[in-house]
Structure 1
C-alpha cells in the first residue's frame, strides 16, 4: 500500500486524524463516520485527511492496526509481569477484562469492522484474520512455554474462550464474562 502510515511516520495532524478516526470508528461504526466528520473533529481539512491517508479504506486499516498495536502493548506489559508460564496464560484473561472495561465497551474492533464490511475479500478481513492468528499463536507459544502436552488444541480452546468472553461482555451484557473465561481457562490448564 503505497503512501500508507506503515511506510512513513505520522505528522501531528496525521496522528490527530488517526486518533479521532479511531475513536469515531469504534464508537459509531465505520459506516456511520464520514471523512468530513473526521476532518472537522481533528481540526484539519478534508484534503489533509486524504493527503495523509489516501482513502477511507486506508484510514480504516490504519485505525485497526493502531488499536491492535495498543492492545498488544497493553497485554505485553501484563505478560511481562506474570510470575510463571501458566500464570501468563491466565493473565491474558485478566488483561482482556481490564481492556474491555477501559477501552472496549463495544467489543472487538476487528470483529465489528468485519461485520460492517461483509466482503471476505476486503482488506479489513485480512487484517482481522491476521490479528486472530496472532492471538492463537500467542496462546500456542504460552501453552508450549508452560509445558503442556498438546499445546495446539489447548491454544484453540483458549482463543475460542477469549473471543467468546469478548462477545458476551460487549453483546451479551455479561460484565463478568472475562472472569468466567479465566476460571474456565484455569480448569483447562488443570485438567
Structure 2
C-alpha cells in the first residue's frame, strides 16, 4: 500500500468509525485494525488523533457540500433549488447508518478542547449558511430571511438524528415552502 492509498484507507476507516461510534470511543488502534495501515504509518500520516479527526472532517465537508450542490443544481427553477435542499436532506437522513451531523457531533465531543475541530465545524456551518442564503436570494427572497431556511434545515438534521426518522426533512421543506410563498413573488 503506497502513501496515498494508506492515507485514503486511514481516512475512510477513521471517518466511518468516528461517525458510527463517536470520536472519543475510537482509538488509533481501532483505526489501524480497520484500515490495515500500521500504527507507525498512521502516525506518520497524522501525527495525532486530533490531526486525523480534522482531516476526516475536512474531507467530509468537501464531499457533503459537493453532494448537496450537485443535487440542488439539477433543479431548473431557483425556487425549486431552495426546496431541493430539504429533499436532499431527506435522502441523506434515509441512508443506512445516519447519525446526524458529523460536525455537530464532533463539536459536541471535542469543540471545547480542540479549537481545530471547533473551527472546522464553524466553517462547515458558515459555508452551508452562505450557500442557502445564495439560493434564497437567487429565488427572489430577502437575504435576511435566509437564516430561517438554515434553521429549518439544521433543526431537521438534529431532529432526524434523535428521532431516527427522515420525516423532519419533509416537515422542514413544507415550512420552507410556506416561507417562500410568503416572501418570494411567484
TM-score normalised by structure 1 residue count: 0.89
Q: Specify the alignment match of 1:38 in structure 2.
A: 31
Q: Specify the alignment match of 2:109 in structure 1.
A: 116
Q: Alpha-carbon deviation of 1:37?
A: 1.0
Q: Specify the alignment match of 1:97 in structure 2.
A: 90
Q: Specify the alignment match of 2:73 in structure 1.
A: 80
User: Is 1:185 aligned with 2:163?
Assistant: no
- Which ranges of structure 1 fall in alignment gaps of 5 or more residues? 1-9
Equivalent residue runs for 1:128-167 within 5 Å: 128-148=121-141, 150-152=142-144, 154-167=145-158
The total of aligned residue pairs comes to 180
Please tell me whether the aligned partners of residues 20 and 97 of structure 2 are also in contact (alpha carbons under 8 angstroms).
no
Do the aligned partners of residues 125 and 115 (structure 1) sit closer, same or farther apart at CA in structure 2, a change above 3 Å counting? same
RMSD of equivalent CA atoms:
1.5
Q: Alpha-carbon deviation of 1:80?
A: 1.5
- Which ranges of structure 2 fall in alignment gaps of 5 or more residues? none
User: Is 1:20 aligned with 2:38?
Assistant: no
Q: Alpha-carbon deviation of 1:100?
A: 1.9
TM-score normalised by structure 2 residue count: 0.92
Do the aligned partners of residues 146 and 114 (structure 1) sit closer, same or farther apart at CA in structure 2, a change above 3 Å counting? same
Q: Alpha-carbon deviation of 1:14?
A: 0.8
Q: Structure 1 stretches (4+) deviating beyond 3 angstroms?
A: none
Name the CA distance, whole Å, in 2 between partners of 1:46 and 1:127: 25
